């Protein structure tokens, strides 16, 4: 498994992911447990 801080395991704390506190986080469409505060990070998390 790829070690990446954007790939979440277990219970996901969305408030801690929302760094800019705008109430929005982004989820990768292909992998539900890849979540980031910015859309670019969620899309590229698996390939970086």
Q: Which domain holds residue 41?
A: 14-47
pLDDT in tens, 24-41: 988 888 877 788 888 876
- The pLDDT value recorded for residue 48 is 42
Task: Indicate whether 8 belongs to any domain.
Answer: no
* 18 in any annotated domain: yes
Q: Which residue has the higher pLDDT, 21 or 4?
A: 21
- pLDDT computed for residue 21 by the predictor: 93
User: The tokens 């890849």 sit on which residue?
Assistant: 34
- What average pLDDT score do residues 15-28 get? 90
pTM of the model: 0.60
CB atoms within 10 A of CB 44: 14
Map residue 44 onto helix, strand or coil: helix
22 located within any domain: yes
Nearest to 37 by CA among 8, 11, 10, 9: 8
How many folded domains does the chain comprise?
1
pLDDT confidence of residue 41: 65
Tokens matching residue 34: 């890849």
Asked if residues 32 and 42 have their Cβ atoms less than 8 Å apart, the reply is: no
Question: Per-residue pLDDT averaged across 9-38, rounded?
Answer: 86
């Amino acid at each position: 498994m790829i070690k990446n801080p954007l790939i979440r395991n277990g219970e996901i704390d969305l408030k801690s992911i929302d760094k800019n506190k705008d109430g929005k986080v982004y989820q990768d469409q292909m992998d539900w447990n890849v979540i980031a505060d910015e859309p670019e990070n969620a899309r590229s998390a698996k390939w970086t």
